Amino acid sequence: MGNATRLPSAGRTTVLRDRELDEEVHCRVFPSGLTAYVVRKPEFTRSYATIATRYGSVDTQLRTNGRTRRLPDGIAHFLEHKVFETPEGDAFDLFASRGASANAFTSFTSTRYLFGTSENYEDNLRTLLDFVFDLHVTDANVEKEKGIIGQEIAMYADDPDWRIYFGALEAMYVRHPVRIDIAGTKETIATITPELLRDVHRAYYHPRIMALAAVSPAPVEATFDAVEERVEGRAFGPPPGPRSALPRESRRARRRQAEVRLAINRPRLLVAFKDAPPPKDPRAQLRLELASSIAFDCLFGNSGSIFLKLYEAGLVDDSFSGSYTAEASFAFAMAGGETDDATKLRATLERELAAALGRGITKEEFERTRNKAVGGFARAFNSPERIAQMLASHHLRGTTVRDYREILFALKLPEVNRRMAAMLAPAARCYSLVLPK
């Protein structure tokens, strides 16, 4: 479906056709810099749209007027909350009144706003574009939000899945901000002001670093017309300057184990693997991610060799899962779940990881796992949510859906085995545990 690095010139629409998938993506770059992707699905009854910006929790600095400011931890997530505030009230209520369900989320590297609906698609899309670009903050509503997010932070402090995940990140990383909770702390968000939120919104909610992706039975031009009406003609300042370089770290984990005790019934254990940052080239980064994900799934997926041994030994259950994550400045893998005996599970994992390094991944395991990935990719085109999020994700990273498919089919077993050996290096390995009080 074309290459995201070869986008159409401003104001023109390009149709990216994929004959193998029998899909068309209409892409237009607007004069403001916003890139919009639209997939028309006349057979669908539901519409879905997301708008994403390349700004997340690891973006801890703001360059404006020739100076660089350190941003408070948690400000990207805080801003996500405040964007929904409008002079008329909460945007969630407006979406609900029009039959739509809306949401948003902040990750390490992006913030996204979305809605799904079976009616009033164009009105809901205009609402999405309005509130994302119209920030309404006051001293009163910012102070109120600090209390709300403070309660959210306290709630996550008692969430075993959240604590084990960030426990693993803190055990892996020394200085990289990926180790910091996306929501920040009560102390860091206390320093956030309306003026700082406006500065961050002006810089990082700039159309040139954003993308809109929509899937709907409505005509393609209906989406483009909404952008023309609600985004074009607005006054935007200069786009954000170059981001400050994030700390580079060695492969060695900061410490071997992180542990916390909570009011739970069964222990939880995560094994984590700190990987080297991916290459800068977007396609090379995507290739590394796909090879690593397949290698990891061969070991820890629901038919993976290590998972099956742990399951048959009664050490794990269906709560056990794993995944590989790669972004421009960091990469890691994690696998884990609930267990009755965390000590025995860790010892068994150590033995099985050593055995996996010795034997490698077989051709049968590789082909089965890659076929599963191919099937999941094809099924994604039956879901408006997954189509839109795929398009937005690939735009933010500088790749395309076609890149994904081509690289997936081009992968070879030796490459996947090399990735497995690199990922499982003992020095890069650590554990995170949540134990009952």
pLDDT per residue over 111-152, tens digit each?
A: 999 999 999 999 999 999 999 999 999 999 999 999 999 999
Spacing of C-alpha 130 from chain mean position: 24
The answer to whether residue 3 scores a pLDDT higher than 80 is no
Which pLDDT score, from 0 to 100, does residue 4 have? Answer: 40
Which pLDDT score, from 0 to 100, does residue 5 have? Answer: 43
Tell me the angle at which helices 363-379 and 282-300 cross, rounded to the nearest 10 degrees: 120
Class of domain 259-436: alpha beta
Percentage of the chain lying above the pLDDT 90 cut: 89
CA contacts within 13 A on the Cβ side of 107: 12
Which pLDDT score, from 0 to 100, does residue 285 have? Answer: 96
pTM of the model: 0.94
Query: Comparing 7-11, 123-127, 356-360, 402-406, which segment has the lowest mean pLDDT?
Result: 7-11
Which pLDDT score, from 0 to 100, does residue 11 have? Answer: 65
Tokens standing for 72? 């408070």
Q: How confident is the model at residue 12 (pLDDT cuts 50, 70, 90)?
A: confident
Nearest to 78 by CA among 53, 106, 102: 106
Which pLDDT score, from 0 to 100, does residue 368 have? Answer: 97
The answer to whether residue 361 scores a pLDDT higher than 60 is yes
CA contacts within 13 A on the Cβ side of 354: 5
- Token pair 């709907």 is found at 216
Q: What is the CATH number of domain 13-230?
A: 3.30.830.10
Which pLDDT score, from 0 to 100, does residue 50 have? Answer: 98
For the question of residue 80 being annotated catalytic, the response is yes
State how far the alpha carbon of 195 is from the alpha carbons of 64, 123, 202, 242, in Å. 13, 30, 11, 22
State how far the alpha carbon of 45 is from the alpha carbons of 39, 105, 214, 382, in Å. 14, 25, 14, 12
The answer to whether residue 331 scores a pLDDT higher than 80 is yes
Q: 158-184 burial, b if ≥16 CB within 10 A, otherwise e?
A: eebebbbbbbbbbbbbeebbbbbbbbb
The alpha-helical segments, DSSP class H, found in 254-341 are 282-300, 305-312
Q: How confident is the model at residue 7 (pLDDT cuts 50, 70, 90)?
A: low
- Delimiting residues of CATH 3.30.830.10 domain(s) in the chain: 13-230, 259-436
The alpha-helical segments, DSSP class H, found in 360-412 are 363-379, 384-397, 401-410
Q: What share of residues in the chain are helix, strand, coil (percent, to 5)?
A: 45, 20, 35
Show Cβ contacts of residue 19 under 8 Å, excluding neighbours closer than 6 positions.
none
Beta strands (DSSP E) in 225-320 are 257-262, 268-275
Show Cβ contacts of residue 219 under 8 Å, excluding neighbours closer than 6 positions.
40
The answer to whether residue 278 scores a pLDDT higher than 50 is yes
Q: How far apart are the C-alpha atoms of 162 and 158, rounded to whole Å?
A: 8
Catalytic position from the list 24, 43, 80, 259: 80
